[in-house]
Amino acid sequence: MPKVNSFPFFIARRYLFSRKSTHVIQIISAISVLGVMVGSAALIVLLSAFNGLESWVIGLYDAFDSDIKITHAEDKFFRLSDGQIKRLAALEETALLMPAIEENALATYGDASFICAVKGVGPAFIRMSGIDSMITEGSFSLGSDSFPQALVGAGVAYSLSLNLRNAFTGIDLYVPRPGAGYTLNPTEAFQSAVIRPSGIFQIQPEVDTRYIIVPYGFASRLFSREGMYSTVELKLRNPRNSAAFQEQAEALLGPRFRVQNRFQQHELLYKIINSEKWAVYLILTFILIIAVFNIIGSMTMLIVDKRADIRTLECLGADQRSLKQIFFLEGLLISAIGLALGCITGFVLVYLQDRVGLVMISELDAYPVQFRWADFALICLTVLGIGALAAWFPAARLLKRYKVQS
């Protein structure tokens, strides 16, 4: 079976690699290829960098956030019946379930004080979180009901000048007493408890400068909220099925509850990262459009240079459509070669950054990158689409102007 458009493609390929009578045409063609190559490589590298940044941020929050977080739409604290808890735990995708309670408190240690968030968690927290790998000092332990212990964020520990080696000093936690009105007696307005710190964790500043993690029983007694929760957190067997799980949980709990996946828990942060990514894509696409305009100049000069060839081809029976195809394919080949070279360059740079670390965030950590095939397909479509438009204009319009009259 003969190849489709084999004759126009053969001529276009010969024109691309053959010597031109005017040397400037080859220079402009080379500049066109270089422009497409640089633009394509920049798109691959920068989109991979934003993908890596997104994955890196998600990885940081993975150590603290759960796959699914359930909160009340109106109240800070709420109750769930044993039946509701059991039905949530019985859902097919539920791997682990952990009620938690959280409230702001004043923490004092020696002469230092700091306002933080105290989060009470259940035993499943050890299996749900990756915070055990983020302990920088001390050990990962929440103690027992008779001897509760706390995990302290690095920022909170710094503000309190925490010393884990001091076995005689605990952290005093003060929270407002529920229902207490205005009073001059602090003991009537606040309730307090003392807890020993067991370890210091470091995840990322938003968490490190805010949280003290304590056992749920200790926190619920401190807040006078026994049997109440501020969140119910779940680990899924397959996090990719979070959307289906959300529908099931919302149907089970009703409209008074919010069921959020990891992205929805930090929706603003992910929107900012994605907005920056697509803003960079649009800017580079605009730059790529400017670079591809060289193809129009190159094709225009090539048509002028090949006027004699055009007449010869017409005498051999080539119609107007075949002539347009020749110069259209010529421009498309320039874009395709630039795209191929740009992809190879981009792949190499992304690979070296991932393996060697050409650009470092700190002395030990390289800037994260992650290549995605969806981005590659988008880049190919973008470059070839722009290249096709740039090739079509001189092929369809300028060819009529420079057609040799027989």
Same domain, 105 and 224: yes
Top pLDDT among 5 and 39 is at 39
Top pLDDT among 381 and 131 is at 381
E strand or H helix at 208:
helix 205-208
Same domain, 153 and 188: yes
Tell me what the mean pLDDT of segment 74-96 comes to: 91
Tell me what the mean pLDDT of segment 278-299 comes to: 81
Does 1 fall in a domain? no
**Average pLDDT, whole number, for the chain?**
83
User: Strand, coil or helix: what is 194?
Assistant: strand
Top pLDDT among 303 and 84 is at 84
Give the domain-ending residue among 226, 247, 263.
263
pLDDT of residue 6: 72
404 pLDDT band (50/70/90 cuts)? very low
Burial letters 259-291, b for 16+ CB under 10 A, else e: bbbbeebbeeebeebeeebeebbeebbeebeeb
Give the model confidence (pLDDT) of 293-327 as tens digits.
777 777 766 666 666 666 666 666 666 666 677 77
Same domain, 53 and 77: no
Question: Mind spelling out the 3-state secondary structure of 92-150?
Answer: CCEEEEEEEEEEEEEEEECCEEEEEEEEEECCCHHHHCCHHHHEEEECCCCECCCCEEE
Q: What is the pTM of this model?
A: 0.69
Residue 249 has pLDDT above 70, yes or no: yes
Top pLDDT among 178 and 285 is at 285
Helix axes 23-62, 267-305, angle to 10 degrees: 170
Does 283 fall in a domain? yes
Tell me what the mean pLDDT of segment 387-399 comes to: 72
140 within 8 A of 131, measured Cβ to Cβ = yes
Q: Which amino acid is at 321?
A: R
Top pLDDT among 61 and 241 is at 241
Tell me what the mean pLDDT of segment 139-157 comes to: 91
Does 143 fall in a domain? yes
Domain span at residue 143 reads: 68-263
Does 96 fall in a domain? yes
Give the domain-ending residue among 202, 231, 263.
263
Place of tokens 């990322």: 204
Rg (CA), the chain: 32
Same domain, 31 and 95: no
pLDDT of residue 4: 43
Same domain, 116 and 253: yes
Same domain, 201 and 286: no
pLDDT of residue 235: 92
Tell me what the mean pLDDT of segment 257-274 comes to: 85
Same domain, 220 and 256: yes
pLDDT of residue 124: 87
Residue 148 has pLDDT above 80, yes or no: yes
Which range in 4-18, 160-174, 264-278 is most confidently predicted, on average pLDDT?
Answer: 160-174
Give the domain-ending residue among 244, 263, 282.
263
100 pLDDT band (50/70/90 cuts)? very high
How far is Cα 328 from Cα 389, in angstroms, rounded to an integer? Answer: 9
pLDDT of residue 2: 38
Burial class (CB in 10 A: 0-12, 13-18, 19+), 183: exposed
Same domain, 76 and 52: no
Residue 405 has pLDDT above 50, yes or no: no
Same domain, 51 and 90: no
Tell me what the mean pLDDT of segment 345-358 comes to: 91
Tell me what the mean pLDDT of segment 187-193 comes to: 79
How far from 121 is each of 99, 213, 250, CA to CA, in Å? 7, 7, 23
In total, how many domains does the chain have? Answer: 2
β-partners of residue 259 are 70
Does 182 fall in a domain? yes
Residue 364 has pLDDT above 80, yes or no: no
Q: Say which range, 12-21, 99-108, 120-129, 227-236, has the weakest mean pLDDT.
A: 12-21
